[in-house]
Amino acid sequence: MNHKKTISLSPIIKTLLPKQLYKKRFLLQDKGLNNHINIAKDARIIGNSTITIRKGHDNHITIGKGGKFNQLKIDINGNHNQVTIGEHVKFSGQLLVVGNHLHIYIGNNTTAIDCYILARDKSVTIGQSCMISRGIEIRATDVHKVYDIDTNARVNKAHTDVILGDHIWIAANVTISKNVSIASGCIIAAGAFVNKPVETPNCMIAGTPAKIIRQNVRWER
């Protein structure tokens, strides 16, 4: 496979080929049209890693050079979406996009052991050099809709993208919910539920719901 080669199969060719193709050790299932998958030549993929495009067109998946991936599952259902993984990323987990014109972005040198990311209603961005532990859920939606009985207005709508800054350490079993942004340099303690923006950089966050418990801290791998 050439460096960053793009899969683009015509409808006629796709009818002649099996539904499952292999792309760089990813098991690929593409049921849409004009979708583009670019994987750096030196990306290292092990385990049962899959790319599934359930339906839709003009979706773009880009995986940068020097990455290492174990049991990475990318799943897209919709049109004009983007999943971008930067350079030298180590990641295991699931990236799920449901909808149109959404994106999941993971910055250079970020690592994640077991992470579930859902972009539905809004997008998710993770900065560079973040360290993400096990049992992490990051989602830009509540998935199921809740309405006010009197006004019929939805009360749990996602209004903004989930955005994590650079050099953030997320300890085990953390959930980050819709409408959340977290400033660079922060530490999120194990078991925290983050449901509000954290605008103060270099702070420690803990609790359910999470709150700042200490400021002016830094961390190293």
pLDDT at residue 2 above 70?
Answer: no
- The reported pLDDT for the residue numbered 56 is 93
Q: 145-165 burial, b for 16+ CB within 10 Å, e for fewer? A: eeeeeeeeeeeeebeebbbbb
Q: Find how far residue 210's CA is from the centre of its chain.
A: 21
| Pick from 32-36, 136-140, 160-164, 204-208: least confident | 32-36
Average pLDDT score over residue span 74-94: 97
pLDDT at residue 194 above 90?
Answer: yes
Q: What is the pLDDT of residues 4-29, one digit of tens each?
A: 444 454 554 444 444 455 566 788 88
Q: What is the pLDDT of residues 107-135, one digit of tens each?
A: 999 999 999 999 999 999 999 999 999 99
Residue appearing with tokens 């990323």: 89
Q: What is the pLDDT of residues 29-79, one digit of tens each?
A: 889 899 999 999 899 988 889 999 999 999 999 999 999 999 999 999 999
Q: Are 23 and 46 in contact (CB under 8 A)?
A: no
Q: Give the model's confidence band at 195: pLDDT under 50 very low, under 70 low, under 90 confident, else very high.
A: very high
